[in-house]
Structure 1
Amino acid sequence: MIANSEDEAYNMYNEYAYHKGFCIRRDEKTYKRGTTQLIRRSFVCSREEFREFSDLSPEKKYDKLDTRCGCQTQVIFKVENSIYEIRRLIIEHNHPLIESSQRHSIRSACKIHDTSKGVIKSMVDAGIWVSKTYGYLLNEAGGYQSIGFTKRDCPNYIQVEQSKRIEAGDG
């Protein structure tokens, strides 16, 4: 398969991953030696490798669940003249895949659509709480499976939009 940009290649693999039931993340970029020309790009299962533990202190606020299990699933694209061509594809997982009833919560597939962004912005500008706005969108979409993003994505989007409005020196 061929893609014309990195985003198109990512979206193509992300669509495949969503239908199979796993989450993906961007991995390595390889450049031609001594230049900034990209020659290889890879995307992997989000459970690839094992997380390195850097802080071994006994005092932690909370223990975070480690989800990495060394999964080898990946796709490697060869890049020539800004055309991404699949060079290598490994599809075997060493962990259970997400069931179809829970796929709406796959992190790499969560996206706030432009229509939802407009509704969120206008309702928050009108003084409606973000949680109420999410509830309204959830009701309009017909449930969690149809909305396309999580409850946490909504306040994150508002925070990003508000930080864009703040100019240098504003507090």
Structure 2
Amino acid sequence: MTTYFLVFSAGSVGGHTYYMGVIAVPLAALTGGGLTLLWGAYRAGGRRGWVLPGAVAATVAWGAFLSSEFPSFLPWLAPATGTLALTAVVLLILARPGGNQRGGRIALVGLGASLAAVLLAPAAWAASAARSPSPPRPGSSTPARSAQRVARTARTEAARRPRRRSRRR
């Protein structure tokens, strides 16, 4: 991931969907490994068991903040992920090891709700990228309008640039 960060931040690479797709595979691998570690810590109990509910809450809070930057794009997204996350955290807290006898099943439902809460927003954004040539920009109403604005700006800037004449000898 460090290599990706250095390469993509060193140049003039913007948030193009191709580059986000390139990062998806290592992020998925890190997510899977992290989830396994968090689940193991949760099942072991103790103070480390609180990390999983906290990570779910923090991840969804960050996703809700990012979604709030685009208020007219999928307005249902932040409330839906928030509801799923609240459900997941409550279930994970109720099913803490050493408590309820049916805690294992409740914990699995909480884990499923956690996964749904954490993955819903990225899945919705990824689906929007498949429908549109560029992702939405802050303040834009829809991805399609944002793409139209970007294309119009690029055409305007290209028209303003003076054309160079090539020298032939």
Q: TM-score, normalised by structure 2?
A: 0.19
Structure 1-normalised TM-score?
A: 0.19
Flag the structure with larger Rg: 2
Higher strand content, 1 or 2: 1
